[in-house]
Structure 1
């Protein structure tokens, strides 16, 4: 198992960050990592996500939403090929801080037999994709 974890402090209230994060129709306008997300953010729903790690080709996944806690957390779990090959649980967490600011935690837990072979890409390209998304989310929330 491997986990990637990134964080960013956003000078905006959690309500605003949640609104931008869950307005998936606008992802193509600002999100450099999740190029598109189609479907309803409702527990149990299957969504379609087009991801693009930094300097890599886009890939489309069809994960299932496993947790939605308004203004707190959003999770989905997907896999490539069959279960146990390369599975990922993608997690967005929002924490209310002082002065109407928000800590955004963006992480993913990877498991499966392919993880050791993809470690370099996850540590480099995928991590940079997370960081680029975090920065764009910050800029979008702070500008509105």
Structure 2
């Protein structure tokens, strides 16, 4: 009888935890949200920066953060991307949300199911002059695992800065 009560109690606890997580996910409620944003001024036209940013096949040649991307820059497209963040290499499959040529590229990636660990990544090209732009790279992280991701978020910000520097060099160095 005692083993039966222990098993039943454990089963009820597990069921309650699963229901709690399912409720959070179903309600699209997240426990935490964190954002990262970096920017760099690039002496190149918006069209040149856009061309470098969306030439996914060339990423292995210059991009220290996003080492590879397979897919095309169009809304709804699911990409396969390989990232280097600190000492980690990760592969994930984001879905493109926004493509505004020479202005914005945005995608969302998820870990397992929505609400666990979601990242919405954006690239904005803001024209400052005829051949000068501000390039803004950002990501908003949401989900129940975000509070446990402090170290990787710091590494991600450094990776954004490295990518920004290399994008600047490539866009300014070629016409």
Measure how far apart 1:99 and its partner are: 4.2
Aligned to 2:167: 137
Match of 2:156 among 102, 114, 126: 126
* Mapping of residues 39-58 of structure 1, within 5 Å: 39-53=71-85, 55-58=86-89
Measure how far apart 1:58 and its partner are: 0.7
Measure how far apart 1:100 and its partner are: 1.4
Aligned to 1:100: 131
- Determine which structure has more spread, i.e. the larger CA radius of gyration: 2
Structure with more relative contact order (C-alpha pairs < 8 Å, separation 6 or more):
1
- Count residues in correspondence: 142
Measure how far apart 1:56 and its partner are: 2.0
RMSD after superposition: 0.8
Q: How far apart are the structure 2 equivalents of 1:82 and 1:51?
A: 20
Q: After the TM superposition, which segments of 4 or more aligned residues of structure 1 sit over 2 Å from their partners?
A: none
Q: How far apart are the structure 1 equivalents of 2:130 and 2:103?
A: 17
Q: How far apart are the structure 1 equivalents of 2:82 and 2:145?
A: 20
Measure how far apart 1:59 and its partner are: 0.4
Q: How far apart are the structure 2 equivalents of 1:44 and 1:21?
A: 18
Measure how far apart 1:98 and its partner are: 2.0
Q: How far apart are the structure 2 equivalents of 1:83 and 1:50?
A: 20
Structure with more of its chain in helix, by fraction: 2
Q: How far apart are the structure 1 equivalents of 2:125 and 2:116?
A: 30
Structure with more of its chain in strand, by fraction: 1
Measure how far apart 1:75 and its partner are: 0.4
Structure 1, unaligned runs of 5 or more: none
TM-score, normalised relative to structure 1: 0.96
Q: How far apart are the structure 2 equivalents of 1:115 and 1:56?
A: 19
Q: How far apart are the structure 1 equivalents of 2:73 and 2:45?
A: 21
Structure 2, unaligned runs of 5 or more: 1-32
